[in-house]
Each structure stands twice: as C-alpha cells, then as structure tokens.
Structure 1
Amino acid sequence: MSETAFGAMALPGQASQLRGAGLLQVLYTRAESDYPGINVAFLVDPGSNPNYLAVLVENEDADGDLAAVELKQALFSIRLTSGGSGKVLTADSVTPAGWKPGMTYRSLVNCKA
C-alpha cells in the first residue's frame, strides 16, 4: 500500500508512526453489500482518458465478489461475473460515447433481477 493509504488508517496525528511500521498484519472480513432495487453503477476513474479506462463497479449487491469484469469496447457494455454464484450480468451501453472521467453512470440492470 502507498504511504498515503497507511497514513489514512492512522489515528489523528499518528500517520508518521504508522507509515514507518513496515509490514502489518491485517485482518479483514467481507462486508455484505445489499442494495435491493438499486441498479448497478459504474464510476469512471478521474485518471481515465481515451487510452486508459478504469471503472469502479458500485451496488453489485450481495451475490458475492466479482470474479470477472469485461468491457465490450464497441458499445461500452460491461459484463460482470459473480464469484459466488457464477451469475453473469451484462450492462449494455452503460458508458456513453462522450464519457467523462469522474462521472458515475447507472445501468438498467440489477444483480437481484
């Protein structure tokens, strides 16, 4: 992780001590994400440009972790595959031709459907 990420985990005023800690044991648990009735959304990373596209998937619901995220370049459709059930969901034409970095685009699909 970056120094900024380490600093963000620290208590107020203790970022420099945590940054210098080296290796840390991290214990985590997957938090269920439950967004009933809310469609999947895609946040285009602010650093994206015509040669580099990074997208954050939001509201994927409680079906498990995503095992695959695939982009169909021609129509900017995004196909999601659940790691839990193996269910495949396709959000067609979710990112418009004139997409802008930093914008969130909502699909017409929901993982529970």
Structure 2
Amino acid sequence: MPTMLEKLPTIMEQGSTMLTWVLAAIFAVIYLFVLAHTTTRVIVFLATCLAISPLVLEKLPAILEKLPAILEKLPTILEKVPAILEEMKSIIEVLVQHYMLPQILMIITLVTLCHFLNRWQGF
C-alpha cells in the first residue's frame, strides 16, 4: 500500500484548488484576527457563532453518544501521533517545495495588499 507521500501527486492533481482555498481561508483568519479592526472581528465572530450554533446543537447528542468509545481509543491514537506528525512534516515540506509555493506567495501578497489598502485613508 503506497504511503501518503507517494500518493501526493495524485492528491495534488485532484485537490490543488481546495488546498488553495484552505490556505486563503487561513490567511483570511490571520488577517481578520491580527490586522482587522475590532468591530470587524466582533461582527464576523458573532455571525459565525449564529451560523454554526444550530448545527452544533443538532449534532451534540450524537457526539456525546460516541464520546465513551472515542475516549476508549484515545491511548491508541496518542501512540500514533509522533508517526503522524513526522508524515505531516514530510508532506508539508513537499507541498511547500514543489506545489504550493507560488500560491502561498500570492496569498501573502494579497493579504499584505489588503492590509495596506485597509490602512490607507484615501481608499
């Protein structure tokens, strides 16, 4: 069975757009909580809470029902964490080196541009 690193080119072909959007969302969150004004942060936080709360309340009984089984498997999961982190490290290195560097640079540039446009009084 091929490892995750061996499957990476196939995964990247199928999911490069999704990964770009995930990175954009991460940088948007960084922008929101680091650079945006306090009022904007509060409005977005409240809107997110209002949007998510019905979904969470709907799924809460099912989550609580599965909690004992999850806690039972926790030691086994924790044993696998170092191997998972090592695999993730190698995947991230490959992503940054070969696939995502142009998109990451583009997103950083866009976030920086938005920051300066936001601070510029005449715009």
Instruction: Pick the structure with greater CA Rg.
Output: 2
Structure (1/2) with the larger strand percentage:
1
Report TM bin, short chain.
under 0.3
Structure (1/2) with the larger helix percentage:
2
- TM-score, L = length of structure 2: 0.20
- TM-score, L = length of structure 1: 0.22
